Structure 1
Amino acid sequence: MNSELRRQVLGCFKQLHRTRLRVFDGDTNALIAARLKINEEFAKNRNVSDAENVKKLVEFGYQVEEVLCKSVVQAVQRDDGVYRARIREETTRLDNKPYSPMPETLIGPFKKKRTKCSDPEK
């Protein structure tokens, strides 16, 4: 592996660990599990020497880092049994629309009446 690819791999490795520290801040179990998983995946692919495969793996690593940043939200239980979400600036936020069931008047005309099954051969 040439020095440029090696630099990219190490950069991805370090970035994943920095993201892990930021995303799972204060959660010792998650920090340890994420560290072990990152190290395990990099060790598993240590012997990959094809430049194209290495580039694909580095790109995948950055995609994983993006998912961690944007999708993972920690919930911390308070003393009163209520959970508090730790949402960071980079966390993706979607519109939160309250559930509104359809009124009964709209459902009525679309209900199918049940009929007895007739034998198709008769």
Structure 2
Amino acid sequence: MSNLRKLVLQSFKKLHRTRIKVFEGDEKALTAARIKINDEYRKNKHVKDEVAIKAMVKFGEDVERELKTQVIQAREIKPGVYEARITEETLKLDNIPYNENAVIEDETTGPRPCCQDKAQTNELSK
């Protein structure tokens, strides 16, 4: 088996494993994700260009990482109350409260301070 074919199959299997983990218990999402993954790989199985294949494998890895870190499941346990299933891999950011003084009302030019700057600085320092 060629190395490229092996990479594609590993990517395919990894996406399906992640799909099962992320959408555990949600048959509708599991089915939709399975169909989408299979369709995308089937649609591109004719591609022969090595650079294009590597780019698609990289894209698959990026999608897998996004699923692991950005997607959470939430279910309503009683009216208006939801329970979220957050895993160790879920990206967790600091909740920064609104600061009305963050935007200066003067005539200075250049970039203005933003509450997101603090969040990005905190994330980089971890």
Match of 2:117 in 1: none
Give the share of equivalent positions with the same residue, in percent: 51
Deviation at 1:9, TM superposition (A): 0.3
What secondary structure is seen at the aligned counterpart in 2 of 1:95? coil
Count how many residue pairs are aligned between Structure 1 and Structure 2.
Answer: 105
Match of 1:118 in 2: none
Distance 1:67 1:21 in 2: 14
Structure with the larger RCO, 1 or 2 (CA within 8 Å, 6+ apart): 1
Match of 1:86 in 2: 85
1:22 and 2:12 correspond: no
What are structure 2's unaligned runs of at least 5 residues? 107-126
Match of 1:6 in 2: 5
What secondary structure is seen at the aligned counterpart in 2 of 1:11? helix
Deviations 1:81-110 (A, max 9, x none): 3111111100111111233545xxx99x77
Amino acid at match of 1:57: M
Match of 1:120 in 2: none
Superposed CA RMSD: 1.9
Match of 2:116 in 1: none
What are structure 1's unaligned runs of at least 5 residues? 111-122
Question: Which 4+ residue blocks in structure 1 deviate beyond 4 angstroms?
Answer: none
TM-score after normalising by structure 2:
0.76
Which is greater in Rg? 1
